[in-house]
């Protein structure tokens, strides 16, 4: 079945710097890759997603890139702010026709220092 | 806005007790999920349901069961709680054919 690996497990950056989190997946049939942000005391919330027919997607300060050949995708956060501090999870859909069920990565704790 | 509520934020139980975790969503979504979250292991799927009275095992169903008698409510049951079930439990829901899973705030369960 699908396996998703996520790195790094922790990431500390200075406010204003960029942060990059990387994930790899094993199932070449996966075609949907969301990123979730979990703030302290809350459930994860979708922040951006990408489908396999697109190589990059941006939404203000966040962007996701996908390399289907290498089976990896990354989250890029530019001009980081203290409110970006959270745990981030990548995920992949385990099969081309089922985007309801997701396999999640192990999470990255991002700390942005003022 | 979708609202997913979980019956308790914190729960402490004893080994061997039967534990019920309740999840309710108000958006008429067909699909509901139960995950557990552990440090270094991410979110792991326990069970999911695509319709009332329908359930399917996820990746780690051992020691758990579920119940979905009504569309809006999905319950996770620990028949005989054990210390290795101490964890954060998250419920999620998604509409049919949609992409975004909406999560509840989580229940932190401690089994002593």
Collect all residues of chain A within an 8 Å Cβ-Cβ radius of residue B33: 101
Question: Of A100 and A96, which is predicted with more confidence?
Answer: A100
Collect all residues of chain B within an 8 Å Cβ-Cβ radius of residue A45: 103
Tell me, what's the pLDDT at B95? 79
Q: Per the CB < 8 Å rule, is A43 touching B94?
A: no
Q: Per the CB < 8 Å rule, is A105 touching B42?
A: yes
Task: Work out the average pLDDT over B97-101.
Answer: 80
Distance linking the first and last C-alpha atoms of chain A: 41
Q: Which residue of B has its CA nearest to A48?
A: B100
pLDDT band at A96 (very low <50, low <70, confident <90, very high): low
Which parts of chain A are beta strand (E)?
Answer: 4-7, 10-14, 19-25, 32-38, 45-51, 56-59, 62-67, 72-77, 86-92, 103-104, 108-113
Q: Which residue of A has its CA nearest to B106?
A: A43
CA distance B41 to chain A (A): 5
Q: Per the CB < 8 Å rule, is B43 touching A45?
A: no
- For chains A and B, count residue pairs whose Cβ atoms are closer than 8 Å: 52
Q: Per the CB < 8 Å rule, is A34 touching B99?
A: yes
Cα–Cα distance, A74 to A88 (Å, whole number): 11
Task: Work out the average pLDDT over A29-47.
Answer: 94
Residue with tokens 């349901």: B49
Cβ within 8 Å of A, B 11-50: 31, 33, 35, 40-45, 48, 50
CA distance B57 to chain A (A): 12
pLDDT band at A103 (very low <50, low <70, confident <90, very high): very high
Tell me: the pLDDT tens digits for A60-87?
Answer: 999 999 999 999 999 999 999 999 999 9
- Report which of B89, B82, B80 is spatially closest to residue B109, judged by C-alpha positions: B89
B51 contacts B43 by C-beta, under 8 angstroms: no
Q: Output B78-82 pairs: Cβ under 8 A, ≥24 positions apart.
A: B78/B13, B78/B17, B78/B18, B78/B19, B78/B21, B79/B18, B80/B16, B80/B17, B80/B18, B81/B13, B81/B14, B81/B15, B81/B16, B81/B17, B81/B18, B81/B19, B81/B109, B81/B111, B82/B15, B82/B111
Residue A52 token pair: 């396999």
């Amino acid at each position: 079945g699908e396996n998703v690996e996520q790195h790094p497990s922790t990431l500390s950056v200075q406010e204003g710097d960029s942060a990059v989190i990387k994930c790899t997946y094993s199932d070449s049939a996966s075609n949907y890759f969301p990123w979730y942000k979990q703030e302290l005391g809350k459930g994860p919330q979708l922040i951006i997603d990408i489908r396999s027919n697109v190589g990059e997607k941006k939404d203000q300060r966040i962007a996701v890139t996908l390399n289907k050949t290498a089976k990896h995708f990354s989250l890029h956060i530019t001009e980081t702010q203290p409110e970006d501090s959270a745990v981030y999870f990548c995920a992949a859909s385990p099969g081309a026709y089922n985007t309801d069920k997701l396999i999640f990565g192990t999470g990255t704790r991002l700390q942005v220092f003022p | 806005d979708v609202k997913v509520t979980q019956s308790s934020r914190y729960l402490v139980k004893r080994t061997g007790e039967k534990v019920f975790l309740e999840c309710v969503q108000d958006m008429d979504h067909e699909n509901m999920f139960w995950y557990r979250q552990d440090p270094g292991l991410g979110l792991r799927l326990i069970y999911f349901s695509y319709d009332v009275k329908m359930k399917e095992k996820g990746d780690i169903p051992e020691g758990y069961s579920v119940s979905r008698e009504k569309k809006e409510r999905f319950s996770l049951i620990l028949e005989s709680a054990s210390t290795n079930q101490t964890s954060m439990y998250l419920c999620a829901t998604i509409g049919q054919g949609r992409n975004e899973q909406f999560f509840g705030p989580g229940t932190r369960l401690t089994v002593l």
